[in-house]
Amino acid sequence: MSHAGHQAIQKIRLIIVGDEILSGRRQDKHLSKLIALLGARGMSLQGAEIVSDQRDDIAQVLKRSFATPDIVFCCGGIGATPDDQTRQAAAAALGIELALHPEAEQLIIERCRDNERKGQGSSDMSLPENQQRLQMGMFPVGAQIVPNPYNKIPGFFINNHTFMPGFPVMAWPMMEWTLDTRYKALQHQCPYIEHSFLVFNLPESRLVPTLLEVERRWPDIKAFSLPSVGDPTGQPHIELGVKGNPEQAAAALEYLRTEVQTLGASLQPLEK
């Protein structure tokens, strides 16, 4: 059976920028959130990586990433302090210049006016601090803005890559907006289902031929095996299951259950 149809589906990936994640000063929250946002839309994440704040490191990761057709969300490093290097790295990876985006400029000016109304600083854009704020609107030439409902200062979008701040309160609404605006047509495109059950009294090695046979018979199904390792509280077991096309999944699951029982295992439904 040909898998040519699958190649048209772009992978969705996440890049997280920040020394504070690598050092453990902060725990990443973007991975689990993006997985949940995608899952609610019938989509899934195919990769994630964390990179330091070093401009060369970010540029290297982005250059490799821009060379793919993938849909990529990048969180962190788009502020205006010296450790924020993602905007510069993106431009370097694409071989283009940074320029002040007119819409971003307008939004940053609005933000400064909002602050002044609240008694927080001045809206005089000639002041050094406001000139510094305008740096956050310096995007690679040709980028489009990504609205930020939290404080108006936008992210940017270029070559299927969406760049957002590292703060969840800003990044998560920007992720949602991007999925529902730019990628609406990709939602619920691939019917997908996952079934699993627990297997007791059988070593994982005995299951391998059965798992291979499932994937041979049903090419749109992935079989998986997740053993309990190092859990002293319960009886050793394996979570066994299938995921993929719903029509094929039911038959594949039935085959898997029957074969495992034939091998002498005892089964138990999985309590979610």
Question: What are the tokens at 182?
Answer: 């730019």
Please give the average per-residue pLDDT across 83-94, as a whole number: 97
More confident residue, 53 or 193: 53
Distance between alpha carbon 55 and the CA centroid of its chain, in Å?
A: 21
d(C-alpha 249, C-alpha 271), whole Å: 19
* pLDDT of res. 233: 67
Assign 69 to helix, strand or coil.
coil
- What is the full DSSP assignment across 167-223? -HHHHHHHHHHHHHHTSGGGTT-S--EEEEEEEES--GGGGHHHHHHHHHH-TTEEE
Confidence check: pLDDT of 45 > 90:
yes
- The span from the first CA to the last CA of the chain, in angstroms, equals 34
Confidence check: pLDDT of 5 > 90:
no
Using 50, 70 and 90 to split pLDDT, how confident is the model at 1? very low
* pLDDT of res. 2: 36
DSSP H stretches of helix in the chain:
4-7, 19-23, 30-39, 55-66, 86-94, 102-117, 128-134, 168-181, 208-217, 246-262
Say which residues have a Cβ less than 8 Å from residue 127's Cβ, sequence separation at least 6.
none
d(C-alpha 106, C-alpha 116), whole Å: 15
CATH assignment of 7-186, among 2.60.40.1930, 3.40.630.30, 3.40.980.10, 3.30.420.10:
3.40.980.10
d(C-alpha 174, C-alpha 165), whole Å: 9
**Overall size of the chain counted in residues:** 272
More confident residue, 203 or 272: 203
Q: Which of 77, 69, 89, 79 is nearest to 19 (CA)?
A: 77
- What is the full DSSP assignment across 10-26? PPEEEEEE-HHHHHTSS
d(C-alpha 128, C-alpha 112), whole Å: 13
Q: Which residue has the tokens 């992978």?
A: 11
Structural element, H or E, at residue 144: strand 144-146
* pLDDT of res. 8: 46
Using 50, 70 and 90 to split pLDDT, how confident is the model at 220? confident
pLDDT in tens, 135-190: 999 999 999 999 999 999 999 999 999 999 999 999 999 999 999 999 999 998 87
d(C-alpha 50, C-alpha 15), whole Å: 6
Fold of 193-269: Alpha-Beta Plaits (3.30.70)
Assign 145 to helix, strand or coil.
strand
- Domain borders along the chain are 7-186, 193-269
HSE-CB at 236 with a 13 A cutoff on CA atoms is: 8
